[in-house]
Chains A and B, each alone.
Chain A
Amino acid sequence: MVEVRLIEVREELLAENRQEAGDIRAELRRQGVFMLNLMSSPGSGKTSLILRAVRALKDVFQIAVIEGDIEAMVDAEKMVREGIPAVQIRTGGACHLDAPMIAAALKELDLAALDCIIIENVGNLVCPAEFDTGAARRAVILSVPEGDDKPLKYPLIFSVSDLLVINKTDYLEGSDFDPEALRERVLRLNPGIRILSLSCRTGEGVSEWTRWLADEIEVFRNK
């Protein structure tokens, strides 16, 4: 007789990733380095937003970038051209960055010399939402051409982010994008989320973003 028995497991999936993310968070806390995990669909403006922030804050804070582009090195090269320390993660086609990849990338950075690290996650609204990278804060960008219905289709990423940046507001005129409907959809998933609207093209609203980042870095350091 083969007897089937039950073993209670009740264990979180991705527990190992979470553990490693916790270790990263503790190490960055010790070093006083604020890390932001920046997520969005491909082409929403992650690289543009990072360049804007680094240019505006470069005299005040030392900022490095971890790039998760799938194949090419284009974004990392853009950073290096601006004199920004950048580490390229070769994800080998993975759809997201996880804590072990970030831990390896951090080894290539001089943490003692840094105030802030921005992770440009892989362009994707689904998978990055599931993986803790050890960052202190998470931000998601939604650009106007993508439509105001994205929180309906990808609720998880909006529910785990601390900041929503609505980018490409220069496309708002004449579009059917409804910023109020978007706001309401996002706030019911995540009442504590901060929402900013801006255009990396015209520069309108960009100072709000750089101020948000500067404040977060300051608060983190003084904690």
Chain B
Amino acid sequence: MHELAVTESLLQVVLRHANEGGAGKVVSVSVRIGGLSDLVNEWVQRYFDHLSRGTIAEGAVIRIERIPTTFRCDQCGHVFPADPRTREEIRCPLCSSAEMTLATGRECFVQQIEVVNGFGA
């Protein structure tokens, strides 16, 4: 389960940005992950809850948004969503070419965090 390693990295990124931004507490974290990734949302939240104990990110809600997997047609350049997990042949909906290149689906980044200022600060 690589969720643990990914979540460790997530917490580091979140704490660094929260501290630089003078936050007192992190309320939520928005993460964007490509459709090809096998990360399990529930485990990311569980690991985060565990790892963030005693930090200003404790109790933050992790929102994971999936970026759809899309392909770019090698013939006409059209970008279209398609599920690479299907057994069906994938073809460009415009020109029906079967030659295509993955355009999105491998992303994995922290988009933004919601924070509140330190109490009494």
Contact = CB atoms under 8 A, between A and B. Distances in A.
Interface in B51-67: none
A103 interface: no
What size tier do the contact residues of chain B reach? 35 or more
Contacts of A10: 109-112
Given A160-B106, A191-B101, A7 B13 contact: no
* A interface SS class: mixed
Interface string A139-153: 000000000010111
A7 B89 contact: no
A94 B106 contact: no
Contact of B36 (A13, A131, A155): A155
A7 B115 contact: yes
A14 interface: yes
A156 B84 CA distance: 10
Interface stretch (A24-32, A38-46, A68-76, A182-190): A182-190
Contacts of A14: 5-6, 9, 108
Interface of B: 1-2, 5-6, 9-10, 12-14, 17-18, 21, 23, 27, 31, 36-38, 69, 71, 74, 84-87, 89-90, 98-102, 105-106, 108-117, 119
